[in-house]
A and B are shown apart, each in its own frame.
Chain A
Amino acid sequence: NAGVTQTPKFRVLKTGQSMTLLCAQDMNHEYMYWYRQDPGMGLRLIHYSVGEGTTAKGEVPDGYNVSRLKKQNFLLGLESAAPSQTSVYFCASSYRGNEQFFGPGTRLTVL
């Protein structure tokens, strides 16, 4: 039982490049979330999903897109990376809106 896993763990991009972060969970959770964490800002919700095929915007959605084609996977895309998107990205999942289980994070640097 791996819980929540994130791929990759680290990534360096140049401004304007695109990439996709993958989150996978094996707990059969309905809800999945993408956060970014920046120093002094806590966790800010980017997008979330309450079920397969559904997505919704969070607090800071601009510059990101998501897809939930399978219940166990939640993808976060950056179409044209900017230095302001340098951050640590966390994925989480939960059974409905209860306690969230977090992945280990992806550290992204945009040059």
Chain B
Amino acid sequence: AQSVTQPDIHITVSEGASLELRCNYSYGATPYLFWYVQSPGQGLQLLLKYFSGDTLVQGIKGFEAEFKRSQSSFNLRKPSVHWSDAAEYFCAVGSGYSTLTFGKGTMLLVSP
């Protein structure tokens, strides 16, 4: 069965500092990988996705993620965090043909 682990429940980053959110997955075949962001009281918005090809993918709002098959990881990064990035971030894995499995989320807090 597929699964996703986001080891950090909360992360606090200073505004302007770099960010890395961790995501590890378990999946038997080549995974489809996603990062979503959820602002308070809102639905989930897709940040970026990986299906195949280049293992470094660029997304919206200056985010990027790198797929590392050997480590079963798909970590999300941003070089300089803005206060508006404070939100909850979800990693998800799927086959591309059916359902997605979501991690439990990482809450990002941005300090002044």
Binding site for B on A (CB under 8 A): 4, 31, 33, 40-43, 45, 48, 50, 58, 90, 92, 96-105
Contacts and interface: CB of A to CB of B under 8 A. Distances in A.
Contact of A90 (B34, B43, B94): B43
Contacts of A48: 99
A42 B94 contact: no
Interface stretch (B18-26, B66-74, B77-85, B100-108): B100-108
Contacts, number: 52
A42 B102 contact: yes
Contacts of B9: 40
Interface of B: 9, 32, 34, 36, 41-46, 49, 51, 90, 94-100, 102-105
A42 B43 contact: no
Nearest to B6: A42
